[in-house]
Amino acid sequence: MWKPPQRIKFEPAPGRVPTRDEAARSMLFSPVRIGPWQAAQRTWVPAMVPWRATDDGFVTPEVIGWYRRFAQGRPGVIVIEATGIRDVPSGPLLRIGDDRFLPGLAELVRAVHEASGGATRLMIQLIDFLGIKRRPDPAKYYERFLRITDRHRGLLDATTPGARDWPEERIRAHLAAAPADEQQRVLDPREWEALQMGARERVTDLHLPHVRELPEVLPGLFARAAVRARQAGFDGVELHYAHAYTMASFLSATNDRDDGYGGVREARVRLPLEVYRAVRDAVDPGCAVGCRYLADECVEGGNHVADATWFGVEFARAGMDFLSLSRGGKFDDAKQPGVGQAAYPYTGPSGYECMPQYLSDERGPFGRNTEAVAQVRAAVRAAGLDTPIVSCGGIHSFEVAERMLATGQSDIIAAARQTLSDPDWFLKLSLGLGDQVRTCRYSNYCEGLDQKHKQVTCEQWDRVALDAPGVELSSDGRRRLVAPPWTPPTEVVSG
Ligand SMILES: Cc1cc2nc3c(=O)[nH]c(=O)nc-3n(C[C@H](O)[C@H](O)[C@H](O)COP(=O)(O)O)c2cc1C
């Protein structure tokens, strides 16, 4: 992952922990209404892909074990990882694009409700994404993938007279052997990108029929997925409008589609609102429907907080039950992948903004999104709407969380890596046992595993008591798949 060049080292600062009484009186542990229902506390585990589904997208016992472990910490809400809404092969990404996925998802819902004693509300994040290819071997790219056009012939001919009439094989061989700057001169920017990074579809590729038709097909796909989520027993759905994926790309200032779904903000928000309405119309009134989107895309030419506040008001006015704000995580500035690897949207500066780690710049890795989210919340409130806003990013301290709630920066506190590090941390805080919390170091060990699509674990617990009875291990047999168990002392539970 990219790191700010300053490389200033930051230590997490959990701050003072509350007594049990203080926690009971706190805002963090007070209920919050989310559309049709209430969450028992303002604690939230945002979507995190742990790479435990089968290769064809089914729930496995390891998926269930992962979420059962989070549920034991009894957060207000857990959002299940990004789950694909289409019935197409998507590698080991959880899927909800067909009824055959329902039994596994229903079992997952039951496991979470049981493990949390019914205290935790459960939602699922619904995602659509476009095609991306691995970075090709240059020889193969020129041999097989590049389509030789008159444009290439003309550009070659300009510097090598006669090249226009060369047989195709000679053009391919010439380009493959040419210096990089000559290749870049002759290839168009997308061909050059396909060679350097792997070909990647964009929502602006209107020449591709399946991309042009996204506004026709996506509302139905999201709506059917949401209905399945309800059939499986989820309390609600989170529409994934964040990071590098289809819906975020529609919202992005880089979306210049000319079919009424790109350009000005009103057009960019059109499909996200149509998807929302289709979902809302398809589900029963007991289903919470909200979205996750970006407070700032953190890329040149992308959306910034002014866009996010504008979209937030539109989403809230349309009736969304919650808005969960993330940050960055774009392909636009991703690092070049190795040959045979696909680009990953969390490897550039915008990826850093999404999951900032402990080596940082002067601003540090904690709360980098807080101010932008507060601005979105202020705009939504100024429009007379009380939609709850979920803030996320480097939060690992009761004091910070409580201050964010008390000062109106947020309504709900989400923590991804801190909860991965210690799934019981909310429970420990609420019981006055905050000094027992295992604090995240923000080393991004988990994110490194995520990037390689390896089973995600935490460096602080995956080597602990590996030989204890019943411990489930990763496929390489070297890491524990879930955090070690924690049992509150009996006098605390009964006291
Ligand atoms: C292993 C891992 C997987 C993630 N998967 C998702 C995901 O599926 N959907 C999503 O919106 N965010 C995902 N995220 C981002 C987190 O939800 C969160 O926004 C980010 O980690 C910043 O919050 P934190 O500082 O509390 O960790 C993931 C993060 C991690 C570490």
Percent of the chain with pLDDT over 90: 97
Other C-beta atoms closer than 10 Å to the C-beta of 435 total 9
Distance 447 CA to ligand 1 centre (A): 8
Q: What is the pLDDT of residue 91?
A: 86
Q: Is the CB of 35 under 6 A from ligand 1?
A: no
- Sorted by where each begins, the domain ranges of the chain are 8-131+218-464, 138-196
Which residue among 1, 10, 44, 48 has the greatest number of ligand 1 atoms within 8 angstroms of its CB, and so is best to mutate? 48
Q: Measuring from atom 12 of ligand 1, which residue has the nearest CA?
A: 47
β-pair partners for 413: 43, 391
Q: Is the CB of 17 under 6 A from ligand 1?
A: no
Rounded-to-integer distance, Cα 269 and Cα 265, Å: 6
Q: Is the CB of 291 under 6 A from ligand 1?
A: no
Q: Which residues of the chain have pLDDT under 70?
A: 491-495
Summary count for the chain: helices (H), strands (E) = 21, 12
3-class secondary-structure state, position 351: helix
Q: Measuring from atom 29 of ligand 1, which residue has the nearest CA?
A: 48
Q: Which residues touch 16 (CB under 8 Å, ≥6 apart)?
A: 398, 399
Rounded-to-integer distance, Cα 281 and Cα 430, Å: 38
Closest CA relative to residue 82, chosen from 42, 51, 121? 51
Q: Is 112:69 a contact under the CB 8 Å cutoff?
A: no
Rounded-to-integer distance, Cα 349 and Cα 5, Å: 11
Which atom of ligand 1 has the smallest separation from the CA of 395? 26
Q: Is the CB of 455 under 6 A from ligand 1?
A: no
Which atom of ligand 1 has the smallest separation from the CA of 240? 11
Q: What is the pLDDT of residue 378?
A: 98
Rounded-to-integer distance, Cα 208 and Cα 480, Å: 44
Closest CA relative to residue 205, chosen from 246, 149, 248, 240? 246
Mean pLDDT of the chain: 96
Residue with the two structure tokens 């989107």: 293
Q: Is 402:376 a contact under the CB 8 Å cutoff?
A: no
Q: Is the CB of 349 under 6 A from ligand 1?
A: no
Q: Is the CB of 413 under 6 A from ligand 1?
A: no
Q: Is the CB of 79 under 6 A from ligand 1?
A: no
Distance 200 CA to ligand 1 centre (A): 22
3-class secondary-structure state, position 41: coil
Rounded-to-integer distance, Cα 370 and Cα 295, Å: 9
**pLDDT tens-digit profile of 191-236?**
999 999 999 999 999 999 999 999 999 999 999 999 999 999 999 9
What topology does CATH give the domain 8-131+218-464?
TIM Barrel (3.20.20)
Q: Is the CB of 397 under 6 A from ligand 1?
A: no
Which atom of ligand 1 has the smallest separation from the CA of 329? 15
Q: What is the pLDDT of residue 418?
A: 98
Distance 187 CA to ligand 1 centre (A): 36
Q: What is the pLDDT of residue 494?
A: 55
Q: Is the CB of 353 under 6 A from ligand 1?
A: no
Distance 207 CA to ligand 1 centre (A): 33
Which atom of ligand 1 has the smallest separation from the CA of 81? 8
Q: What is the pLDDT of residue 489?
A: 84
Distance 61 CA to ligand 1 centre (A): 22
Q: Is 302:253 a contact under the CB 8 Å cutoff?
A: yes
Q: Is the CB of 49 under 6 A from ligand 1?
A: yes
Q: Measuring from atom 23 of ligand 1, which residue has the nearest CA?
A: 393
Distance 441 CA to ligand 1 centre (A): 15
**pLDDT tens-digit profile of 352-362?**
999 999 999 99
Instruction: State which amino acid sits at residue 15.
Output: G
Q: Is the CB of 416 under 6 A from ligand 1?
A: yes
Q: Is the CB of 449 under 6 A from ligand 1?
A: no
Rounded-to-integer distance, Cα 201 and Cα 449, Å: 25
Which residue among 96, 355, 363, 368 has the greatest number of ligand 1 atoms within 8 angstroms of its CB, and so is best to mutate? 355
